[in-house]
Amino acid sequence: MSSLLPAIQLFHYRWSVPTVARLYRDGPQRVARLQEAFNAARDTLADTIRRLELAGVLCREPAPRGAICSLTPAGQAVGASCIEAVEAVVAMDLVQLALKKWPMLVLVAAGRGASRFNQLRAELPGITPRALTLALKDLQAAGLIERTVEHTYPPSSLYRLTPRGLELFPVMDRLCRAAEAAVAL
């Protein structure tokens, strides 16, 4: 099982995947145009761009009417996977869920075999117990993960992907694997 740390580092911010997808599809863009396209708060998008820049995924070049963002070779390496992920999320009507920090990463960890709370937590460095609990509840509400309580002492819960979750998993897993390969560049 490969590490999810590169995906966490690259795509942990709200607009990361849509930004990379748009730059891959449409080429270099001004920050203002990205903000308009996503209807995103200026500070949130600026923080996302700064984090992607620090991760080596994109670069900003000064221009007369505002900075222009373009993808680096690492950004190009994950671009196609970002487009695929955005399209899948839109098709499944999961945009609001996917824009949260942890749910898609929790889905990947569960799809890769983590089935207990502590296993999921171990696969996701930096996630707090509260954030994991909220992500699992969101995934359950969206019909992507189901929870089964084992009748042992003490009782324990198992999490597994539903058929709908299994449909989304390969797309998100490819994105995480592309992030791992891009970090290696």
**Which parts of the chain are beta strand (E)?**
29-30, 58-61, 68-71, 145-150, 156-161
pLDDT at 184: 66
Q: Are 70 and 58 in contact (CB under 8 A)?
A: yes
Count of CB atoms situated within 10 Å of the CB of 126: 13
pLDDT at 103: 96
Predicted TM-score (pTM) of this structure: 0.91
Distances (CA, A) of 140 to 130, 131, 148, 176: 15, 14, 11, 21
On whether the 5-184 domain is CATH 2.60.120.260, my answer is no
Domain ranges of the chain: 5-184
Report the C-alpha gap between 124 and 179 in whole angstroms.
15
pLDDT at 66: 79
Residue 2 confidence (pLDDT) above 70: no
